[in-house]
């Protein structure tokens, strides 16, 4: 048998080495390509998962927007493709048959190819505002100048036993009767909720606002409030946790003040005002008018906000 030369043996070994190296390179390439494909797949899965979660957050954002709108405008029926972050939401609102105080909110959140939908049933808190007169105060009431207070079918002014109502000059006080005595009611007895709950429900909250701030819906003022001229035009429920000076403008609704109340100028209030402080409530100079209006007070009772009864995610 012929023997291979040393030269041939070296060539054969070199050839085997090259083949082995090529196999190793091929294996490394396959592994690398697999890792790249796996990484891309995992990245896509991660992005899809993030988008799916984000779509839910956007849908919930649509629900919060809808409830905010309903608390400001009971006729709100929804909106389409409103932007939120990098996505958008579409909301529809309907009133269930026979349930006028409830709303069904359907909110769909979208981002990229992902979408999720939430269905919420919410209900407006309903309450009867218990007002017993045009003016009710925990202290004395003084009326001078040309002011006019009219309680209509209710008393014009109510104060606790031991406190007084004085009418002087050209001031006019009418009602059924014009004045009387009654304990000053607790806040919850008037509004059906605590002060803390009312503050949490407030449409607008101020701290020591400037003169004539916008007041509509449920307005909570922390500190002093001054309505100084005809530019003040408010409505709803106004809670002043401090002193209140009313010199002009118009307010339709119920005003509740914890501090001192001073009414002058030519302002007009339709509804009622309650003064928790034992400091004298003063109608001084000018021609202010305050008249009890039951229809306005009934409407005020409808201002309380919607709250969620039921939440669920529905399949698209």
Across 148-159, average pLDDT: 96
**Can you tell me the distance from the alpha carbon of 249 to that of 195, in angstroms, rounded to the nearest whole number?**
26
Q: How confident is the model at residue 36 (pLDDT cuts 50, 70, 90)?
A: low
CA distance 106 to 112: 20
Is pLDDT of 4 > 50? no
What are the residues whose beta carbons fall under 8 Å from the beta carbon of 133, sequence distance 6 or more? Answer: 151, 154, 155, 156, 157, 158, 175, 180, 182, 272, 292
For 61, the 3-state DSSP assignment is helix
Confidence band, pLDDT 50/70/90 cuts, at residue 38: low
Domain map of the chain by residue range?
1-125+305-316, 135-300
Whether pTM > 0.85 for this model: the answer is no
Tens of pLDDT, residue by residue over 255-266, are 999 999 999 999
CA distance 113 to 251: 50
Mean pLDDT of the chain, nearest integer:
88
Segment 35-64 mean pLDDT: 79
CA triple 165-166-171, angle to 5 deg: 120
Q: What are the φ and ψ backbone dihedral angles of 81, each rounded to 5 degrees?
A: 50, 45
Q: Are 226 and 243 in contact (CB under 8 A)?
A: no
For position 33, what pLDDT does the model report? Answer: 63
Determine the Cα–Cα distance for residues 244 and 205; give it in Å rounded to an integer: 15
Residues 184-227: tens digit of each pLDDT = 999 999 998 999 989 988 989 999 998 999 999 899 999 999 99
C-alpha distance across the termini of the chain, in Å? 80
């Amino acid at each position: 048998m012929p023997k291979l030369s040393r030269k041939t043996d070296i060539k054969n070994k070199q050839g085997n080495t090259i083949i082995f190296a090529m196999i190793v390179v091929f294996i490394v390439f396959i592994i690398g390509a697999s890792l790249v494909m796996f990484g891309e797949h995992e990245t896509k899965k991660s992005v899809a998962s993030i988008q799916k979660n984000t779509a839910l957050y956007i849908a919930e954002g649509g629900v919060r927007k809808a409830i905010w709108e309903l608390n400001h405008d009971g006729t709100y029926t929804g909106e389409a493709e409103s932007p939120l972050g990098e996505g958008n939401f579409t909301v529809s609102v309907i009133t269930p048959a026979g349930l006028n105080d409830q709303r069904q909110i359907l909110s769909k959140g979208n981002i990229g190819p992902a979408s999720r939908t939430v269905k919420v049933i919410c209900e407006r808190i309903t309450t009867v505002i218990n007002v017993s007169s045009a003016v009710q105060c925990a202290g004395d009431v003084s009326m001078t100048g040309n002011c006019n207070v009219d309680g209509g079918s209710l008393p014009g002014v109510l104060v606790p036993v031991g406190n007084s109502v004085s009418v002087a000059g050209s001031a006019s006080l009418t009602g059924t009767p014009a004045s009387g005595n009654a304990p000053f009611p607790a806040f919850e007895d008037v509004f059906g909720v605590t002060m803390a709950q009312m503050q949490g429900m407030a449409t607008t909250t101020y701290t020591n606002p400037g003169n004539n701030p916008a007041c509509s819906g449920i307005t909570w003022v922390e500190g002093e409030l001054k309505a100084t001229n005809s530019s003040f035009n408010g409505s709803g429920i106004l809670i002043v946790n401090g002193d209140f000076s009313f010199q002009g403008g118009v307010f339709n609704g119920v005003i509740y003040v914890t501090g001192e109340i001073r009414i002058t100028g030519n302002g007009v209030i339709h509804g009622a005002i309650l003064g928790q402080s034992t400091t004298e409530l003063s109608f001084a100079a000018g021609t202010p008018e305050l008249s009890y209006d039951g229809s306005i007070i009934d409407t005020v009772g409808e201002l309380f906000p919607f709250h969620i009864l039921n939440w669920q995610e529905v399949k698209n």
